[in-house]
Structure 1
Amino acid sequence: MTAPLIMAVLSAQTPAVRPLPGDRPAANPHATRSVVYGRNGMIATSQPLASVAGLKIMQDGGNAIDAAVTAAAVLAVVEPSMTGIGGDLFAIVYDAKTKTLRALNASGRSPYAASPDVFASRNLTRIPNTGVLSVTVPGVVEGWSALLSKYGTIPISKAVAPATGYAKDGFAVSEIIGGQWKNSERKLAADPVTAATFLPAGHAPRPGEVFTNPHLAATLQTIAAGGRDAFYKGPIARAIVADMKQRDGLLDERDFAQHTADWIEPISTRYRGYDVYELPPNTQGATVLEMLNILEGFDLQSMGYQSPAYLHALVEAKRIAFADRAAYVADPASVPPAVLKTLISKEYAALRRKDIDPMRAAGSYKPGAIPGVTSSAGEEADQNLTGRDRGDTIYLTVADGKGNFVSLIQSLFSDFGSGIVAGDTGILLHNRGSLFNLTPGHPDQIAPHKRPLHTLIPAFIMKDGRPWVSFGVMGGDHQAQGHTQVVVNLVDFGMNIQEAGEAARVNHGNNGLQVESGVPEGARAGLVERGHTVTVSVGAFGGFQGIMVDPRTGVLMGGSDPRKDGLAIGW
């Protein structure tokens, strides 16, 4: 018999700061909702429909991996601005049987026909943000297949069934997604097929209106019947390639047929006794670890939460790490192992930390010098590379009662990706290829069958060799900044899982430092005194989901960010 859903309303830990006055009778001043508790399973996603679908899989006997793929498939339908089967996927899996962490890189590669000369022949000095030339091979379906094949217990047909139902029968559009849809109307209207798919009444569906995508439902049914080969070697690949050729794109059937996901080892650093795991390049995971290593040299707890001193150190550490990201992070084939080892080392962080003036923001930061490696980045290397900070991604995490965990992220990159729906597949293709560089000698320079730099990063924290927190923060360039702030909130400031993800964040971008309204005026003034350009902003701070394990009881604790439409739920 299916167990009933039980959601608790108590907070998990005593916060490290004094509760603020307000109407909420709970001792977690940085949260507007309670931690969710469960013993048998927990899932946190950015959409209630996805959370419930994943939970049901676990209650019916499936494991965390089954639930994660099911929820990811639902999100690929009900959050079309953020994700879809035309995008990419990364994951970290903790396997309770072997007590090991493994990482999955299912990101797609550039077409074999792609080269700097091709773009030069089209009089392009940079890769377009939208359109066919921004499209790389989508990796999501291969990612689902790889997860289920290695760790799952259900077939892909069962995993995509709830998503297929929502695509065929419709779903009610949620508030935040409805707003993103509205903001993307001009982009969607630029292509007739895309407009017919996502603006069926001539405008974006409003929150509460029901949206269907029957062509996508048919595509999902094809995947259910034929598995990943139907997507990469069968009718779906042929349909996408035919559409690309008609639009003068570069993708062909060989690009799809030779796509593979890779199981790899995650990278890590020990931060104040906690082992923080991220993915290696081509992701920006090393950027998070470098930021944490730099910050470990400061007494953040003594500085105080949201103090100007702490926030200044955080921002300067970000700028240094982003300078190194711009110079050294790319396809792993372009990043020598010695470079990665250096970037995440304590010794390198100590050298870079010396560049931080505790009372003054630097004009700019150059990449650090790594022996034997020449950087092509210049004075403005500490600037954001993508210009995307607003959470154009989904992240989810799942834990089951047997001790398995999944930390998963998938994305179209920009809102509604490339803006192209491929023929009658219903698939919106991503624009991840726009992150390639055309600068000669740059590690991220475009080349045939190459992965671009990725902002996507799932995260995981271990304590004393056991799982402690599975989490992620969606949002382009903000992801590395968000991950770092969540870890500091948990470790240095003693917040619970909901507080750590919901607490006011800051985001450094190309136009200065954006802060949320929850950052006190005194802290903002202190940052301005240190030379930062500070603005109060809304919506540039990603979206968090997380699961924590109580080491004393084994109880699972879930948190979900109110910056999204999401839900943490367990039983």
Structure 2
Amino acid sequence: MASTFTRLAALAAILSLGLTPSLAQERAETSALEMGAGGRPVGQAWSRSPVYAEHGMAATAHPLASQVAVDVLQRGGSAVDAAIAANAALGLMEPTGNGIGGDLFAIVWDPETQQLYGLNASGRSPMGRSYADLRSALGDADSIPPFGHLPVSVPGTVDGWFELHGRFGRLPMADILAPAIDYAENGHPVSPVIAYYLERNLARFEERLDMIGEFDNARATYFADGAPEAGEMFRNPDLANTLRMIAEGGRNAFYEGEIARTIDAYMRRIGGDLRLEDFAAHRSEWVAPGCVEYRDGYELCELPPNGQGFAALQMVNILRNVDLTQWPRGSAEVLHYITEAKRLAFEDLARFYADPAFADIPVEGLLSEEYGRRRFAEIDATRANPAFQPGDPRLEGEGDTTYLTVADSSGMMVSLIQSNYRGMGSGLVADGLGFMFQDRGELFSLDPDHPNVYAPGKRPFHTIIPAFVMRNGAPHMSFGLMGGGMQPQGHVQVLINMVDYGMNVQEAGDAARLNHDGGRQPTQDLEGTGAELLGTLHVEPGISEETIERLRAMGHNVEVVENGVMFGGYQAIIRDPETGVYSGATEMRKDGQALGY
């Protein structure tokens, strides 16, 4: 029989999610008796302690990558050095989410200049392929496919590393990349969640071999004996050689040298359009993060389009017009307001967000308090609106991803996200290079009138977004959450958990989430043809049956999803402004670990 304390702890945890006493008692008994749950002396029974450290910290989706980052910090590297080292290791260890065939975005707090810096290291479409060429290649298809060479754009990650390192790095790049090279050469044991995703990706690739075209290289690199299993040693000597060339030759080795020439030859062989000239022309862009205050001095900061980060800011702008604390965190009312705010923000996302070099985006209007109030006024407190539309922000007069965060002893904090997009990417691996190309170009629209329409040399709409929180003008939290369209709504849910409901950095990530999917998309025409505008509200099992039934009665299409896959993966680091002590977290939905010293 479970102890009284254990049952009370489980009961308290579930009540915090908005359950009725009878359901809470039933689930407490299930948790304590059938699942063998233990009790905790402090905090919520469904979460564990945050990690605290004084000098530096890393939180990544793989324990070995977190260790790599901390080792770099202890050798005198900056938070940026450590973030690059961890990202390089994750490209090997978590190829289901990222790699040097993908793009990168980052936010850096620099204590020396007391500023936030944003980096957009996303790549562009082939300059030699016109819109007419693409339509001809697609035939009767009405969208860009997720696999093969058509969705491949220039990988921006390596240039992003060198841009970050050039401004904030301390150690030589050869030293930073050495741990990833060593693991790629000698192997590492595959972790459980990544093994699960490898198996899923292989099954998906096998179903689309005709679309991919050339898959022998990818099979030899990742799946020579089928999908690697948890605990199995995995090596990628081709990637080790590629990283060694980058370490020795710098970014030019990737964009102008042997690597770029190998990619050019491979693309010509398989009928792809990327060329050496596309790589040579690529450059990252430093951008100014946008910030919106939620309440009590907490400001959420995100990067501007072509990414979707400003959708999170639009949600904050809408939700600050209602006091959510009048209801429990897991209540139907709170989930209803979050969902409707997300739907409104994503209507605008689908209409306006694109590469700003090709589109006039009304950023000032989208993030204004006035527009947030107008959009909030469209929410019915008692019922879901079945057909929200994009707003008019003019003022008078949904992949897979990795997220990591690192902080150092100087106070520098790095929020970095990197991805190949859909799963592992396009299914294409160039001869002997050991990494897969992203399929980010799938996210272009084919509507000639849409801001996000395909064009040569253009960056597609992007889902991956790092985040940062300022508090009363000081750096507070570097954080992010993986998973396509989950990311903006996940950022906002974490912020609400902390600011409105007092959760610590670990609890805020472990708490049950919602993920609304559906509605108008940035890949569709401006009318949203084919869109089911109400969409589906997915919730995790920690949301009570009573809440679910009330949401359905309010008009939401609610589905409970058991396995956590679609709810993202969260990492975060908070800095105490008085002591400088860091607290970090990484959550149960991934294999990751927060580690400090």
TM-score (ref. length: structure 1) = 0.92
3-state DSSP of counterpart to 1:429: coil
Question: 1:41 maps to what in 2?
Answer: 56
In the alignment, the residues of structure 2 paired with residue 528 and residue 132 of structure 1 have an alpha-carbon distance, to the nearest angstrom, of 42
CA-to-aligned-CA distance 1:417-459 (integer Å, 9 cap, x gap): 0011111111200000100111011010011111111111100
2:354 is the alignment partner of 1:330: yes
- Amino acid of the residue matched to residue 188 of structure 2? F
In the alignment, the residues of structure 2 paired with residue 105 and residue 76 of structure 1 have an alpha-carbon distance, to the nearest angstrom, of 19
Question: 1:439 maps to what in 2?
Answer: 447
- Is the Cα–Cα contact under 8 Å of residues 48 and 506 in structure 2 kept in the other structure? yes
Quick one: which of 478, 491, 509 aligns to 2:517?
Answer: 509
1:490 Cα deviation from its structure 2 partner: 1.1
Question: Residues 260 and 314 (structure 1 numbering): CA distance in 2 closer, same or farther, change over 3 Å?
Answer: same
2:249 is the alignment partner of 1:249: no
3-state DSSP of counterpart to 1:393: strand
3-state DSSP of counterpart to 1:472: strand
2:72 is the alignment partner of 1:57: yes
What is the aligned-residue RMSD (CA, Å)?
Answer: 1.8
Unaligned runs of 5+ in 2: 1-11, 18-23, 29-36, 210-214, 519-534
3-state DSSP of counterpart to 2:97: coil
Question: 2:524 maps to what in 1?
Answer: none
1:549 Cα deviation from its structure 2 partner: 1.6
- Is the Cα–Cα contact under 8 Å of residues 131 and 456 in structure 2 kept in the other structure? no
- Is the Cα–Cα contact under 8 Å of residues 15 and 496 in structure 1 kept in the other structure? no
- Is the Cα–Cα contact under 8 Å of residues 501 and 561 in structure 1 kept in the other structure? yes
- Is the Cα–Cα contact under 8 Å of residues 188 and 199 in structure 1 kept in the other structure? no
1:271 Cα deviation from its structure 2 partner: 1.0
- Is the Cα–Cα contact under 8 Å of residues 15 and 494 in structure 1 kept in the other structure? no
1:28 Cα deviation from its structure 2 partner: 2.2
CA-to-aligned-CA distance 1:11-42 (integer Å, 9 cap, x gap): xxx99986997623243216432100000001
- Is the Cα–Cα contact under 8 Å of residues 39 and 45 in structure 2 kept in the other structure? no
Question: Residues 552 and 200 (structure 1 numbering): CA distance in 2 closer, same or farther, change over 3 Å?
Answer: same
Question: 2:380 maps to what in 1?
Answer: 357
- Identity over the aligned pairs, expressed in percent? 46
2:545 is the alignment partner of 1:526: no
Q: Give 1:31-180 correspondences, 5 Å limit.
A: 31-122=46-137, 123=139, 124-180=141-197
2:418 is the alignment partner of 1:413: no
Quick one: which of 285, 290, 309 aligns to 1:285?
Answer: 309
3-state DSSP of counterpart to 1:514: strand
3-state DSSP of counterpart to 1:455: coil
Question: 1:296 maps to what in 2?
Answer: 320
Question: 1:233 maps to what in 2?
Answer: 256
In the alignment, the residues of structure 2 paired with residue 349 and residue 18 of structure 1 have an alpha-carbon distance, to the nearest angstrom, of 29
3-state DSSP of counterpart to 1:184: helix
Question: 1:555 maps to what in 2?
Answer: 581
In the alignment, the residues of structure 2 paired with residue 568 and residue 230 of structure 1 have an alpha-carbon distance, to the nearest angstrom, of 33
1:301 Cα deviation from its structure 2 partner: 0.8
> How many residue pairs end up in the alignment?
540
Question: 1:482 maps to what in 2?
Answer: 490
2:364 is the alignment partner of 1:341: yes
Quick one: which of 259, 262, 273 aligns to 2:285?
Answer: 262
In the alignment, the residues of structure 1 paired with residue 590 and residue 109 of structure 2 have an alpha-carbon distance, to the nearest angstrom, of 26
3-state DSSP of counterpart to 2:506: helix
TM-score (ref. length: structure 2) = 0.88
- Is the Cα–Cα contact under 8 Å of residues 110 and 447 in structure 1 kept in the other structure? yes
CA-to-aligned-CA distance 1:59-94 (integer Å, 9 cap, x gap): 111111111111011001100111110000000000
Question: 2:592 maps to what in 1?
Answer: 566
- Is the Cα–Cα contact under 8 Å of residues 314 and 345 in structure 2 kept in the other structure? yes
- Is the Cα–Cα contact under 8 Å of residues 16 and 328 in structure 2 kept in the other structure? no
In the alignment, the residues of structure 1 paired with residue 365 and residue 292 of structure 2 have an alpha-carbon distance, to the nearest angstrom, of 12
In the alignment, the residues of structure 1 paired with residue 204 and residue 541 of structure 2 have an alpha-carbon distance, to the nearest angstrom, of 30
- Is the Cα–Cα contact under 8 Å of residues 199 and 227 in structure 2 kept in the other structure? yes
Quick one: which of 184, 193, 197 aligns to 2:201?
Answer: 184
3-state DSSP of counterpart to 2:567: coil
- Is the Cα–Cα contact under 8 Å of residues 216 and 427 in structure 1 kept in the other structure? yes
In the alignment, the residues of structure 2 paired with residue 120 and residue 402 of structure 1 have an alpha-carbon distance, to the nearest angstrom, of 52
3-state DSSP of counterpart to 2:570: strand
